[in-house]
Amino acid sequence: MPQSSDAIPLSRPDLSALERALVDEVLRSGRLALGPMTERFESMVAQRAGCEQGVATNSGTSALHLMLQSLGIGPGDEVITTPLSFIASANPILYVGATPVFVDICPKTLNMDPARLEAAITPRTRAIMAVEAFGNPAYMDRYAQIAARHEIILLEDSCEALGATQNGRACGSFGRAGAFGFYPNKQITTGEGGMLVTDDSALADTVRSLRNQGRDSFPTSDGPGEGPRLGAWLAHQRVGFNFRMSEVSAAIGVGQMERFDEIIERRTRVAAMYIERLAASEHVVLPTVLPGSEPTWFVFVVRLAAGYTSEERDRVIAGLRNHEIGSAPYFPCIHLQPPYQERFGFRQGMFPIAESVAGRTIALPFFGGMTAREIDLVCQTLEVMLSRENLARS
Ligand SMILES: Cc1ncc(COP(=O)(O)O)c(C=O)c1O
């Protein structure tokens, strides 16, 4: 979603003098790619995700793409994922030529329903791509059990869940590999960026090579044009990509990770204020957090009560936007996006819970710096829009 010019935007990055100083350090060093800042950022994120290895990329989408490619997932393979997510949870499955299989969600947590997941497994299933919807983890341990029972790979699109935990275990660490995204609306940002995390060092090496034009064992801090290593720079062992993160982005990321606890604390406080303010509303359903789950909210998504139509929801969003309050229908179902309908024949009605939820969701402005007054204004405006819809009905 483009950054908005709303008076209360949907999101706003939490940046400080520290990030500016680190960017300045990189600029003064003259080393703008493949340097020590990227390695520092990788180890900070990997540690937070409870994984041994981190491989920074230029987006969360490219981290997911490399995850599937490095595991050799391709034509003839099926990968199971959720229909209620950002489209980049599923697009990488198409990039590698595999087939996406969607599983309907649990209406409370909005994560894939584990009972339905088991039924979707076929002899062609290679992997489950689990997503913590909006940064709220659920059932990750159950997905892991199912994957182990069927000898398929559990992968995590944790792009919305950096720092979140389930039963004390960090999101990103439940499967063979996890991916994070650092777009400016995420918990932390690098402008654009992503990272794959894993405990599998062979997998991490393949991903390092694939992100760097297929160069093998080329250390990140050993850049091009450095005498004897020039040969390594021009040797390409596989068909790779340029999915590298720049040192400037990594510097922003290092500053964000240094301040991670503070950033998450501020966001958690904003979520708690919303929950307190909207808990009594009969028109709005709040996110359900399961016992043992510790979300790090990516966005704050409420949904209108059953009975509201998607047209009514769209009018509420338009009304909020007219009042310069950022708001969005997070997320339209992936299977109903044109390329998925056209290529795979997905239709309305195939995943009724996800479709029903997706027709009623509203992402409200959400960022750490939100004041109590701003939250109150958002909630008041939402209530006015809802009473307008109710009046129009009667
Ligand atoms: C669940 C999910 N997957 C993947 C992505 C892709 O991340 P990026 O925008 O960094 O490519 C996002 C981010 O928007 C996301 O929310």
Q: Whose CA is nearest to atom 12 of ligand 1?
A: 159
**Are both 197 and 344 inside the same structural domain?**
no
Flag whether pLDDT at 225 surpasses 50.
no
Domain that holds residue 318: 260-393
Peptide linkage before 331 cis (omega within 30 of 0): yes
Q: Kindly state the tokens that stand for 49.
A: 């995700």
Angle at 62 between CA 59 and CA 68, to 5 degrees: 145
How many folded domains does the chain comprise? 2
Report pLDDT digits (tens) over 301-318.
999 999 999 999 999 999
pLDDT at 218: 59
Sign of CA dihedral 211, 217, 218, 222: positive
pLDDT band, residue 219 (cuts 50/70/90): low
**Are both 275 and 365 inside the same structural domain?**
yes
CATH number at residue 200: 3.40.640.10
Q: Kindly state the tokens that stand for 329.
A: 């229908």
pLDDT at 394: 75
Tell me, yes or no, whether 223 lies in a domain: yes
3-state secondary structure of 149: helix
For residue 85, the ligand 1 atom closest to its alpha carbon is: 1
Could you give the CA distance from residue 309 to residue 367 in angstroms, rounded to a whole number?
A: 28
Q: What is the mean pLDDT of residues 47-63?
A: 98
Q: Which residues, 6+ apart, have CB-to-CB distance to 30 below 8 Å?
A: none
What's the mean pLDDT when you consider all of the chain?
Answer: 94
Last residue of a domain, one of 234, 258, 282: 258
Flag whether pLDDT at 165 surpasses 50.
yes
* Residue written as token pair 């990103």: 172
Could you give the CA distance from residue 318 to residue 328 in angstroms, rounded to a whole number?
A: 9
Report pLDDT digits (tens) over 119-140.
999 999 999 999 999 999 999 9
- Is residue 192 within 8 A of residue 153, CB to CB? The reply is no
For residue 182, the ligand 1 atom closest to its alpha carbon is: 10
Tell me the catalytic residues: 186
- Is residue 80 within 8 A of residue 103, CB to CB? The reply is yes
pLDDT at 5: 60
Q: What is the mean pLDDT of residues 31-51?
A: 96
Flag whether pLDDT at 373 surpasses 80.
yes
- Ligand 1 lining (C-beta closer than 6 Å): 59-61, 85-86, 88-89, 131, 157, 159-160, 181, 183, 194
**Which of 183, 186, 241, 296 is the best mutation target for the ligand 1 pocket, counting ligand atoms within 8 Å of the beta carbon and taking the most?**
183
> Does 102 or 392 have the greater pLDDT score?
102
How close is the Cα of 369 to the center of ligand 1, in Å?
Answer: 22
Tell me, yes or no, whether 5 lies in a domain: no
- % of the chain at pLDDT higher than 70: 95
How close is the Cα of 92 to the center of ligand 1, in Å?
Answer: 11
Flag whether pLDDT at 1 surpasses 70.
no
Residue closest to 107 by CA, chosen among 137, 78, 84: 84
Residue closest to 191 by CA, chosen among 371, 8, 26: 26
**Are both 375 and 247 inside the same structural domain?**
no
Tell me, yes or no, whether 141 lies in a domain: yes
How close is the Cα of 301 to the center of ligand 1, in Å?
Answer: 16
Phi-psi region of 125 (alpha: psi -120 to 50; beta: other; left: phi over 0): beta
How close is the Cα of 61 to the center of ligand 1, in Å?
Answer: 6
pLDDT band, residue 141 (cuts 50/70/90): very high
